[in-house]
Amino acid sequence: MVKNLLLCLACAVSIAAAPAGLAAAPSGDATPGPVTVVDAFHAALKANDTAGALKLLSVSVSIYEQGFVDQTRADYAGAHIAADAAFASTDLQVLERRIIWLGDNAACVISKTRTQGNFQGHSIDLVGTETMVLQRSGSSWTIEHIHWSAHPGEGEPKPAADKH
């Protein structure tokens, strides 16, 4: 399994963009595919259904966000899933690109988003990236790892260039 996950991350940068439904379940398979699980996770957050979102995460999920780490599903539930749901419900985020790597029992879904608008009185313009690594266990997919990061979009101040 670890080899599949590492291969997923190493190969992801060289895969062409694919439509969101590419990694849906194969024809005739009623099991939701990894992209369907990722989309269901986001839909649950958007609907403020934190219990529904948590059910799609493995017990041992690791979530990296802007340098912070939640090391289990329980950590995420207690730390900031409520804030993520509040932000997701604003409908400010647009999916711009998605890359999918699909193996027999592991998948990697990489997304690029643009978030623009006002949130809690603050104007925001962010380009975001999301990497979700999923594992198939029997007939279902679970999210094993999430990595979220973002940087200012056009018109926002950018960090100074590294002069080294």
**Residue ranges in the chain assigned as alpha helix (H):** 2-12, 34-46, 50-55, 73-79, 81-88
Question: Using one digit for the tens of pLDDT, what is the confidence trace for 22-57?
Answer: 444 444 455 679 999 999 999 999 999 999 999 999
Q: Does domain 2-12+31-152 have CATH number 1.10.150.120?
A: no
pLDDT greater than 90 at residue 19: no
pLDDT value at residue 111 = 97
The domain segmentation of the chain, as residue ranges, is 2-12+31-152
pLDDT (tens digit per residue) in 93-126: 999 999 999 999 999 999 999 999 999 999 999 9
pLDDT in tens, 61-93: 999 998 899 999 999 999 999 999 999 999 899
pTM of the model: 0.78
- Give the SS3 label for residue 120: coil
Q: What is the pLDDT of residue 18?
A: 35
**Residue at 126: amino acid letter:** L
